[in-house]
Amino acid sequence: MNQVFSIYVPGHSLMHRTPVWLKYVLMLGIMFSSIIVMQWWYSVLCLAVSMLLVLATGVGPRMGFKLSWGVYLMAGLLLAFQLFLGRPEIAVAVSVNIFAAIYASRMLTISTPESTLIDALVSGCRVLKPLGVNPETVGLAIGIMLKSIPMLMDTVGIMRQAAKARGMQSNYIMIMTPVVVRAVGYAQETGAALAARGLAE
Amino acid sequence: MISFRDVSVQVEVPVAGEPPKVKTLLSGVNLDLAERRVSIIGPNGSGKSTLLRLMNGLVEPASGQVLVEGVDTKKTKKVRKLVGFVFPDSLSQLLLSTPLDDVQLSLKAVIKDKNERRPKAMELLESRGLGHVAEQSIYDLSGGERQLAALTSILALEPKVVVADEPTTALDLKNRYIVNKVFDELEQQVIYATHDMEWAERADYTLVVSGGRIVASGNPADCVAFYKDLVFR
Ligand SMILES: Nc1ncnc2c1ncn2[C@@H]1O[C@H](COP(=O)(O)OP(=O)(O)OP(=O)(O)O)[C@@H](O)[C@H]1O
Ligand SMILES: [Mg+2]
């Protein structure tokens, strides 16, 4: 569970030493340019580059390239959809883009501590200040979100097991209600924790 | 000093097709707590958490007044600077993914210079023996380490009073011992709710809550005996 989300791996690799803004630029550059160009050969190039960037973090291919089945499923569905529309070249480009985007973001998250990621984002948000956006609040919100993901995933796991323990098939629809109830409770507790620390004002 | 003046707490419970029902969670509370260690005991659902949450402005009284060091808890901003609140579940209490990040977040209120916060946070965590886990995910910590990390975050705000709602309930024997000891050694006034009767007895003063009322208060050993009598009678 935790390996999926808290993915920062401490180290001194090339990517670890690269400034965080440059890593953001690389990641966003790969993501957006591959969508704009939308050519299969360009997507393959982006994928190759992003995989090299992952390797440059020094984690090795096994951990660096591992993906959950959901990603393959999503890429497969998009591929099938575009093929169905009779656009094989776009089909390849779209599905390859997904892998390129995931590896590009992985390069960033493996080589950068969460706090650095958020600080950089907060600095980036400064340009939005005249629009009434408080960068600090944005950073805190993102931080709490990142922290909450494993918690909610865990709730799903607990509920599935609770269903199984009662001899019920664990299907996602059925455990939805208790998971939502728990999530709401958790959100209330988080609100109280924020307030108690004087961070809600 | 924490004072309750004729405090009651009520909530509206929605009822289908009818106007909401008023439920009284706490009533007729009059207290002056000056002792350094105050323990609160009582059955599940008796109102302990409600009583504690009043002290930090997390719950508002329906009538009466709660004062902490002379500050009305309606002034939430002021009172939350005075009172550090420790929740039973440290995973909800910790807002960010690592102890170091979380303590730094607290330090924002007291240290303006960003570059000073990190070393200070590290220093605070090390002083609690958490230096080696400072940058680990909070999900990978033991329950005891987590509760100590949460406490470190709260103490970073330099509160005058620490209010703790069952801070050791989720812990095993050893971690409970460790966390209890940390609380016992704090220089602040500490008000804590617990189901651990041994710890409750170590306080200077005890409150027994039952059915939304304070049914006994005073000497800890007497209060624990009273509570046991209440339950096993
Ligand atoms: N917001 C609310 N709405 C309705 N009822 C509430 C609300 N908050 C608390 N209660 C009820 O008030 C009563 C007292 O709750 P409280 O959490 O203070 O008990 P407690 O003594 O802390 O119990 P425990 O030992 O289980 O933690 C309970 O019956 C609870 O269900
Ligand atoms: Mg409680």
Q: Which of A197, A192, A190 is nearest to A144 (CA)?
A: A190
- Ligand 1, from B21, B23, B49, B60: best to mutate by most atoms within 8 Å of Cβ? B49
For chain A, give every domain's residue range: 2-112, 135-196
Question: What pTM value is reported for the model?
Answer: 0.78
B chain contacts of residue A6, beta-carbon cutoff 8 Å: 97, 137, 139-140
**Sign of the CA dihedral running A109, A153, B94, B129:** negative
According to the model, what pLDDT value does residue B177 have? 93
**Sign of the CA dihedral running A184, A190, A195, A200:** negative
Say if the Cβ atoms of B106 and A197 lie within 8 Å.
Answer: yes
> Distance between CA atoms of A107 and A130, rounded to whole angstroms?
32
**What would you measure as the largest C-alpha separation in chain A, in angstroms?**
57
Q: Name the more confident of A6 and B106.
A: B106
Residues, beta carbon < 5 Å, ion ligand 2? B 49
User: What's the gap in Å between the CA of B18 and the closest CA on chain A?
Assistant: 24
Q: Which ligand neighbours the alpha carbon of B60 most closely?
A: 1
The residue behind tokens 């299969």 is A40
pLDDT of B20-59, one tens digit each? 889 999 999 999 999 999 999 999 999 999 999 999 999 9
According to the model, what pLDDT value does residue A169 have? 66
Q: Do the interacting molecules here have an ipTM over 0.90?
A: no
φ and ψ at B212, to 5 degrees?
Answer: 80, 15
DSSP characters for A68-125? -HHHHHHHHHHHHHHHHTT-HHHHHHHHHHHHHHHHHHHHHHHHS-HHHHHHHHHHHH
According to the model, what pLDDT value does residue B110 have? 86
According to the model, what pLDDT value does residue B84 have? 94
Chain centroid to CA B13: 25
Mean pLDDT of all residues in B185-197: 96
For chain A, helix, strand, coil in percent to 5 are 80, 0, 20
| B50 in contact with ligand 1, CB cutoff 6 A | yes
For residue B8, pLDDT over 70 is answered with yes
> Distance between CA atoms of A32 and B173, rounded to whole angstroms?
54
For residue B195, pLDDT over 70 is answered with yes
For residue B150, pLDDT over 50 is answered with yes
The amino acid present at B39, given as its one-letter code, is S
According to the model, what pLDDT value does residue A4 have? 40
Tokens of B101: 């990040």
Task: Indicate the helix (H) or strand (E) that contains A182.
Answer: helix A172-196
Mutate to test the interface with A, among B96, B102, B152 (most CBs of A within 10 A): B96
Tokens of B49: 């958490």
Q: Which of B28, B36, B26 is nearest to B2 (CA)?
A: B36
| A105 C-beta neighbours (distance < 10 Å), count | 18
Angle between helices B143-156 and B114-127 (to 10 degrees): 130
- Going by CA atoms, what residue is nearest to atom 13 of ligand 1? B45
- Whether residue B230 contacts residue B210, with contact meaning beta carbons closer than 8 Å, is answered with yes
According to the model, what pLDDT value does residue A85 have? 87
pLDDT lower than 70: segments of chain A: 1-6, 169-174, 201
According to the model, what pLDDT value does residue A170 have? 59
What residue ranges define each of the domains in chain B, with the CATH number in brackets? 2-232 (3.40.50.300)
Say if the Cβ atoms of B137 and A2 lie within 8 Å.
Answer: yes
According to the model, what pLDDT value does residue B224 have? 97
Contacts for B178 with CB less than 8 Å, ≥ 6 apart: B144, B148
Q: What angle do CA A56, A98, A137 make, to 5 degrees?
A: 80
Tell whether B154 lies on the interface with A, counting CB pairs under 8 A: yes
Tokens of A154: 């865990």
| B13 in contact with ligand 1, CB cutoff 6 A | yes
| B48 in contact with ligand 1, CB cutoff 6 A | yes
Percent of chain A with pLDDT over 70: 92
According to the model, what pLDDT value does residue A172 have? 65
Mutate to test the interface with B, among A146, A147, A201 (most CBs of B within 10 A): A147
According to the model, what pLDDT value does residue A2 have? 38
Q: Which of B185, B47, B163, B195 is nearest to A192 (CA)?
A: B163
According to the model, what pLDDT value does residue A201 have? 62
Mutate to test the interface with B, among A197, A199, A201 (most CBs of B within 10 A): A197
| B46 in contact with ligand 1, CB cutoff 6 A | yes
User: What's the gap in Å between the CA of A188 and the closest CA on chain B?
Assistant: 10
